[in-house]
Amino acid sequence: MPRPRLVALSVFLLIAVTHSSSSGQEIPSPYVFIANGQAWEIFAGMSDLNPGELEIGPRDGTTFGGRYAAAFSGALNLDVDGTFFSSKRKVYEVRPGDNILLGESDIDVLLLDARLRINLTGHRTWNGLQPFVLFGGGIAFTTFTDRAWELLSGMPPGEWYEFGVRFAGTFGAGTAYHLTDKISLRLDGVLNLWKIQTPLGWQTLLNDPLDQNTEGEWVAGTTLRLGAAWRF
C-alpha cells in the first residue's frame, strides 16, 4: 500500500502545479468598471449650422463650452451642457422677388440643455473606450448680434432678423476614452434642431407679393466636438 505521507505530498504537488498552470493561462478582461460617477468637462469644436431657406440665420462657426455629467445606475447618465456658438449670418435687404445681400455680421448663440446619455458598454469601458448615444433639449438664445449693416442701410426694425429664444432639440453619438481613473477624452457628433423665424417685415404684401417667404422653418445644425473631463 502507498504510504500516507507520500500520497499527501503527491496531491499537494498536483494542486500547486494545476493552480500555477491555470494562473498562467488567465486572460485579463477588456472591460473595466468606472468608479467615478460625476465629471466636469470642457470642449471645443466646429459647427455647420443651417441658416434656413432665406439664408438669414446663423451659419458655420466655432463652438466651445462646458458640461456637468452624472451617472445613474447601469448605462444611464445625465449631461447638463452650456454650448456657445460663435457664428456669422448674412444680412439681406428684402426686396420683392430679389433680396439684396448687404454683407455678413457676427451673431453668437448660447445653448443651455440637458441630455440623457446611454453608454453602450454600461458603467464599464471596453479597452478604455465607452461609446454612447444621447438625446435631450433646452433653450437657445443670442448673446450678441452685430447690427452694423442694418443701421448703415437704414433698414426698418421690422425687417431685422431676430433669433429670439428658441427651443432646441439635441441628438448625438460619440465615445469617451478613459486615460486614467479620473481623466478622460470625449469625441462626439451632435445634431441640434431649432427654428429660424422670418421677420414680419419680410412677410408683408409689399415685400412678398407672391407669398414666397415662409413664416419660419425648423433647421438642423451639426457640430463635431472634442472634450476633456475630470471625473470624481
Per-position pLDDT tens, the chain of length 232: 445 554 444 444 444 444 444 444 556 788 888 888 899 999 999 999 999 999 999 999 999 999 999 998 789 999 999 999 999 999 999 998 789 999 999 999 999 999 999 999 998 999 999 999 999 999 999 999 999 999 999 999 999 999 999 999 999 999 999 999 999 999 999 999 999 999 999 999 888 888 888 899 999 999 999 999 999 9
Q: What is the pLDDT of residues 185-227, one digit of tens each?
A: 999 999 999 999 999 999 998 888 888 888 999 999 999 999 9
Distance CA 229, CA 105 (A): 34
Distance CA 148, CA 150 (A): 6
CATH of domain 35-231: 2.40.160.20
Domain ranges of the chain: 35-231
Q: What is the pLDDT of residues 9-31, one digit of tens each?
A: 444 444 444 444 444 455 678 88
pLDDT for the residue numbered 28: 75
* Residue among 150, 134, 8 at smallest CA distance from 67: 134
- What pTM, to 2 d.p., does this model score? 0.84
What are 146-155's contacts with CB under 8 Å, separation 24+? 146/105, 146/106, 146/107, 147/105, 148/105, 149/91, 149/102, 149/103, 149/105, 150/91, 152/102, 153/93, 153/102, 155/93
Distance CA 186, CA 175 (A): 6
